[in-house]
Amino acid sequence: MALICELDEQRKSVMPLINGDASN
């Protein structure tokens, strides 16, 4: 499912904002 891959990439870009950029 390419759709899930696309959503996953977007989520990875947004998650740092939600986690307070703790991932990076």
DSSP character string of 1-24: -HHHHHHHHHHHHHHHHHTTS---
What is the pLDDT at residue 20?
64
Residue 5's Cβ-side half-sphere holds a number of Cα atoms within 13 Å equal to 2
Confidence of residue 14 (pLDDT cuts 50, 70, 90): confident
Calculate mean pLDDT across residues 13-22.
67
Distance (Å, rounded) from C-alpha 10 to C-alpha 18?
A: 13
Instruction: Please report, for residues 2, 19, 22, the alpha-carbon distance to residue 10 in angstroms, rounded to integers and kept in the order given.
Output: 13, 14, 17
What is the pLDDT at residue 5?
78
What is the pLDDT at residue 3?
83
At 9, list the tokens. 């990439």
